[in-house]
């Protein structure tokens, strides 16, 4: 590809293709040369007759030959009667067709557009145009002009034109005004512009460095950003300090006042909790308070056990073909007597078996029970293990994304609760405080709730320390399963997981009867070669595990043995370029037909269809893994197959996709794979923790291979440091309990 930047200009002759959603356009540009040039790029609303100046590069398309890929576009209004007629006749302005266009140009000549924008009532001079229609044509044109000015503004300030459509969806023709008044809104929701970029724009537009809006935006950004680190709040002192470092404010008092203003407005809630002067974004505060209130109320609620409970449990045991261990029986008994309970334990301790017992009990009691899990994969597995329907929590609540506000909405909430009499949630360690609050709000007053999970797994990606806070509060009836069942104890994977959890280095000896192997490869290059060989040859040939059922995990993305370099190496080996395979470069990645890829962001707004087109729905979620079915460079679309759900990615969505031959341990939470290869190489100490090692080991169902350095495995086992998460839930649960007695 020729990367030299060029500029061309001309008049738009025809628009061949335009994507209404993201503004991607293919058009023919008349540059005065004999043949019109094909221009592709994000030029929303481009229409024939307009003058267009584009900056970009010439590329060669396999089927369409030479075309100009525009990175920056500036558009001018058409001048001259012919160009104005072409523009109006193209359908660019709603309500104006060919005939009206002709009459407008006949009547007003070169002034037609000026009249349309500023004096639309004069259009009634044209036969057949009523006053109402004239005004609505004028309005449609002003909207067009609004979009155009917005795009000129964005590109003029070095911002991507792709922001135009979402801004327009959210603010309509007020979009430019809104951005000028508050450039920081660009950091919100799906716009997701980096804080520094919005901040530069604000400074360019003349916002002073101590402008109250700048200070407030900095504070809100810090709180928002820290949600990604798991904190539901930040102590006031830390928040002020971090914001000061972020935006370099000279006047500490002004920052203090800005925080007070946010609190007074209700955007931030400040309260003394857990020994801290805690500052929350208001929705997080509401979520935490709601979870504490609801869980406390449910925990207090003792139910009458059904008559003949013991006999009923014995029948369930018989039907399951096992005898419960005492703790398992206790779990089923507790589910009959309490409105809410926790069921916890490590791998192989019989959580799923007990969960199935609770489900059978609820069914026997005639309770309509919903099974749910935080991720699609975990829900699928739960459904299979229980031979029942299971959904993600988002799906259960019928989550929708509102593109106008950038917020999620839940169809089921206090005003339209779920029908279920009982809800059982698996993999609760992955549930964050906001989702838990949404779930609790959607439960009927008397609905039962059973939360199942392993508190030693890595905590949720989203904010809060939910499962661990619930357990440590001691307020919620809990059964902790500790006995590892014989069958499970035979597995070196499960034994090692428990050893690691106790802080003992797992046994790294190799024995062909074991399901856990260690290959000593302290050198990253050598480790990578071994991993490729394992995937390509050794595991498929010696163990009968096909490549696509092997998942490589790494504690890190970029360091030695990180996913970035592993993905390149594995892709080159298992899916090299081929004449019949389409591919597309995007940032550091090449996406190629056949590649394994992962969605790395929750997207509630994306459409999927089944191959036969008979079924469709919305949403692909963080951590979903699929493979690339097709790379269509003509339509600029990549089709990914997520377990039968086909999703088309336009160029502006490719940032949500990453190669997934290797993924980080964090991203693998809640998923299980037939075989796991884990790299254990020297890297940043904060990534080498016991939680990471434990989570990685417990992802493997049949086979685990650790490739790397035994010293690193030992260091990971010893490193029990959990990064602190600011959360007030535990303290609130204690308070709620005390306050009512
Ligand atoms: N009471 C029991 N008697 C005999 N075997 C049992 C009993 N309970 C569970 N098992 C067996 O122990 C193994 C682990 O049980 P289960 O899958 O329920 O555990 P788990 O905690 O859900 O494990 P994981 O988290 O690894 O999925 C299974 O093979 C199961 O059949």
**Would you say 331 and 452 are in contact if contact means Cβ atoms under 8 Å apart?**
no
Residue with CA nearest ligand 1 atom 23: 348
Residue with CA nearest ligand 1 atom 25: 347
Residue 2 pLDDT exceeds 50:
no
Percentage of residues of the chain with pLDDT beyond 70:
97
**Would you say 288 and 433 are in contact if contact means Cβ atoms under 8 Å apart?**
yes
The number of angstroms, rounded, from the C-alpha of 18 to the middle of its chain's C-alpha atoms is 27
DSSP 8-state symbol, 704: E
Interval between CA 350 and ligand 1 midpoint (Å): 4
- pLDDT of amino acid 1: 42
Through-space distance between the first and last CA atoms of the chain, rounded to whole angstroms: 73
Average pLDDT over every residue of 25-32: 91
Report residue 622's pLDDT band, with 50, 70 and 90 as the boundaries.
confident
Cα-Cα-Cα-Cα torsion 622, 623, 627, 631, nearest 10 degrees, comes to: 30
Residue 77 pLDDT exceeds 90:
no
- pLDDT of amino acid 696: 96
Q: What is the pLDDT of residues 623-655, one digit of tens each?
A: 889 999 999 987 888 999 998 999 999 887 888
How large is the C-alpha radius of gyration of the chain? Answer: 30
**Would you say 262 and 248 are in contact if contact means Cβ atoms under 8 Å apart?**
no
What is the pTM assigned to this prediction?
Answer: 0.81
Residue with CA nearest ligand 1 atom 26: 347
Interval between CA 489 and ligand 1 midpoint (Å): 10
DSSP 8-state symbol, 723: P
Q: What is the pLDDT of residues 297-340, one digit of tens each?
A: 999 998 988 889 999 999 999 999 999 999 999 999 999 999 99
Neighbouring C-beta atoms of residue 311, cutoff 10 Å? 9
Which of 485, 490, 669, 694 is the best mutation target for the ligand 1 pocket, counting ligand atoms within 8 Å of the beta carbon and taking the most?
485
Residue with CA nearest ligand 1 atom 2: 324
Interval between CA 22 and ligand 1 midpoint (Å): 49
Residue 323 alpha carbon, nearest atom of ligand 1: 1
Residue 325 alpha carbon, nearest atom of ligand 1: 1
- pLDDT of amino acid 404: 65
Interval between CA 210 and ligand 1 midpoint (Å): 60
Please say whether the dihedral angle defined by the alpha carbons of residues 117, 121, 125 and 128, taken in this order, is positive or negative.
positive
The DSSP result for 344-378, as a single string, is: EE-TTSSHHHHHHHHHHHHHHTT--EEEEESSHHH
> How many residues comprise the chain?
741
Percentage of residues of the chain with pLDDT beyond 90:
60
Q: Complex ipTM above 0.90? A: yes
Neighbouring C-beta atoms of residue 654, cutoff 10 Å? 18
Residue 494 alpha carbon, nearest atom of ligand 1: 26
Residue with CA nearest ligand 1 atom 5: 485
| 199 half-sphere exposure, CB direction, 13 A CA radius | 18
Residue 345 alpha carbon, nearest atom of ligand 1: 21
Average pLDDT over every residue of 372-395: 91
**Would you say 731 and 739 are in contact if contact means Cβ atoms under 8 Å apart?**
no
Residue in the block written with tokens 């079915």: 629
SS3 247: helix
- pLDDT of amino acid 741: 41
- pLDDT of amino acid 74: 83
Residue with CA nearest ligand 1 atom 8: 350
Mean residue pLDDT of the chain comes to 90
Q: What six digits make up the tokens of 699?
A: 């992802």
SS3 548: helix
Measured between alpha carbons, how far is 630 from 609 in angstroms, rounded to an integer? 15
Q: What six digits make up the tokens of 125?
A: 């001079």
Question: Within 6 Å (CB) of ligand 1, which residues are found?
Answer: 322-325, 328, 345, 347-353, 485, 487-488
């Amino acid at each position: 590809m020729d990367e030299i930047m060029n500029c061309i200009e001309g008049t738009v002759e025809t628009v061949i293709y335009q994507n209404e959603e993201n503004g991607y356009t293919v058009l023919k540009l008349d540059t005065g040369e004999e043949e019109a040039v094909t221009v592709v790029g994000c030029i929303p609303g481009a229409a024939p007759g307009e003058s267009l100046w584009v900056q970009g590069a010439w590329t060669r398309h396999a089927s369409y030959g030479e075309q100009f890929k525009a990175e920056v576009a500036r558009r001018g209004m058409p001048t001259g009667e012919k160009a104005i007629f072409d523009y109006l006749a193209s359908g660019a302005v709603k309500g104006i067709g060919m005939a009206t266009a002709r009459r407008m140009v006949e009547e007003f000549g070169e002034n037609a557009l000026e009249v349309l924008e500023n004096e639309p009532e004069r259009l009634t001079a044209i036969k057949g145009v009523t006053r109402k229609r004239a005004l609505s044509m004028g309005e449609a044109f002003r909207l067009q002009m609004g979009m155009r000015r917005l795009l000129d503004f964005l590109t003029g300030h070095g911002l991507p034109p792709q922001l135009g459509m979402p801004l327009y969806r959210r603010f309509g023709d007020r979009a430019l005004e809104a951005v000028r008044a508050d450039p920081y809104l660009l950091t919100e929701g799906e716009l997701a512009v980096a804080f520094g970029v919005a901040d530069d724009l604000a400074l360019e537009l003349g916002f002073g460095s101590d402008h109250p809006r700048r200070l407030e935006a900095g504070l809100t950004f810090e709180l928002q950003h820290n949600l990604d680190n798991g904190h539901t709040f930040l102590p006031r002192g830390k928040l002020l300090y971090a914001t000061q470092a972020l935006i370099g404010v000279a006047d500490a008092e002004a920052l203090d006042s800005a925080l007070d203003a946010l609190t007074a407005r209700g955007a931030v809630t400040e309260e003394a909790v857990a020994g801290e002067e805690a500052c929350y974004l208001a929705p997080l505060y509401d979520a935490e308070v709601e979870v504490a209130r609801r869980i406390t109320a449910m925990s207090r609620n003792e139910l009458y056990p059904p008559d003949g409970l013991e006999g009923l449990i014995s029948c369930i045991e018989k039907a399951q073909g096992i005898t419960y261990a005492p703790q398992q029986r206790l779990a089923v008994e507790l589910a009959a007597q309490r409105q809410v309970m926790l069921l916890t334990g490590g791998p192989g301790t019989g959580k799923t078996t007990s969960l199935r017992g609770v489900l059978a009990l609820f069914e026997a009691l005639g309770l309509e029970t919903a099974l749910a899990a935080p991720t699609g994969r975990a829900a699928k597995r739960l459904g299979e293990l229980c031979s029942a329907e299971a959904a993600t929590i988002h799906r259960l609540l019928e989550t929708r994304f509102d593109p106008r506000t950038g917020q999620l909405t839940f169809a089921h909430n206090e005003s339209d609760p779920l029908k279920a009499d009982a809800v059982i949630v698996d993999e609760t360690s992955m549930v964050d405080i906001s989702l838990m609050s949404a779930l609790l709000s959607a439960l009927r007053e008397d609905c039962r709730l059973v939360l199942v999970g392993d508190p030693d797994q890595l905590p949720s990606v989203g904010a809060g320390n939910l499962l661990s806070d619930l357990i440590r509060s001691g307020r919620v009836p809990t059964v902790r399963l500790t006995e590892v069942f014989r069958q499970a104890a035979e597995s070196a994977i499960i034994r090692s997981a428990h050893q690691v959890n106790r802080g003992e280095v797992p046994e790294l000896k190799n024995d062909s009867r074991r399901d856990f192997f260690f290959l000593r490869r302290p050198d990253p290059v050598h480790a990578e070669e071994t991993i490729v060989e394992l995937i390509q040859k050794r595991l498929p040939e010696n163990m009968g595990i096909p490549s696509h059922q092997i998942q490589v995990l790494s504690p890190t993305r970029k360091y030695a043995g990180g996913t970035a370099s592993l993905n390149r190496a594995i892709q080159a080996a298992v899916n090299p370029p081929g004449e019949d395979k389409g591919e597309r470069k995007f940032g550091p990645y090449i996406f190629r037909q056949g590649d394994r890829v992962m969605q790395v962001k929750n997207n509630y707004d994306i459409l999927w269809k089944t191959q036969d087109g008979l079924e469709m729905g919305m949403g692909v979620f963080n951590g979903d893994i699929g493979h690339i079915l097709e790379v269509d460079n003509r339509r600029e679309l990549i089709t990914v197959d997520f377990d039968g759900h086909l999703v088309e990615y336009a160029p502006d969505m490719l940032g949500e996709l990453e190669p997934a031959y290797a993924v980080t341990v964090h991203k693998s939470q809640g998923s299980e794979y037939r075989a796991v290869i884990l790299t254990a190489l020297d890297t940043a100490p904060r990534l080498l923790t016991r939680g990471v090692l434990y989570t990685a080991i417990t992802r493997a169902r049949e086979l685990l291979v650790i490739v790397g350095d035994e010293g690193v495995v030992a260091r990971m086992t010893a490193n029990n440091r959990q990064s602190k998460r600011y959360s007030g839930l535990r303290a609130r649960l204690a308070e709620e309990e005390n306050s009512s007695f």
